[in-house]
Amino acid sequence: MIHEQSQILSKAGKEPGFTVPEGYFEGLTSTIMSRLPEVEITDVEAKPTWWMRVRPYVYLAAMFAGVWCMMTLFNHLNSPMTNLQRVAEIAGGISDEHNADEFVLSSGVDAYDIMTYEDSVYGYMIDSIAGN
């Protein structure tokens, strides 16, 4: 330590030379205790901590977040099929000519859906030929 290298501090030592009246420390506690004001102390078990105070709000926020997540997921699962998915479904349904009528009746596809499907197929064919 630095002061161990300091000759002056080594010579002076750790006693600053201050003294106190005899018996000073003996009566100190009672002197100070007699001067203490009355204070209201909240029982630690009854006093709410910071977490206890904010906990209901955190739980409420978590509940709303959960409901929002569930609604988002539900909407996502029930979203209408994309055009491509619809075309693929129709293609699968009418590809077997024995079951095509049954598919049309049960799936609710109408003439417009089938026309759209056919347009897509012709478009694909034309693109393919043009590409060749």
Instruction: Render 88-109 in DSSP notation, one character per residue.
Output: HHHHHHHSSTTTHHHHHHHH--
Selected range binding other proteins among 19-27, 77-85, 101-109, 113-121, rule: CB under 8 A: 19-27
Q: How far is the CB of 55 from other proteins (least distance, A)?
A: 18
User: Residue holding tokens 């997921």?
Assistant: 73
By CB under 8 A, tell whether 37 contacts other proteins. yes
Q: How many residues bind other proteins (CB under 8 A)?
A: 33
Region label for 67, one of left (φ > 0), alpha (ψ between -120 and 50) or beta (otherwise): alpha
Q: Return the amino acid letter for 85.
A: Q
The binding track of 38-77 with respect to other proteins, each residue x by CB under 8 A or -, is: -xxxxxx--x------------------------------
Q: How far is the CB of 52 from other proteins (least distance, A)?
A: 13
Q: Which residues of the shown chain bind other proteins in the complex (CB under 8 A)?
A: 2-3, 6, 8-9, 11-21, 24-25, 28-29, 31-33, 35-37, 39-44, 47
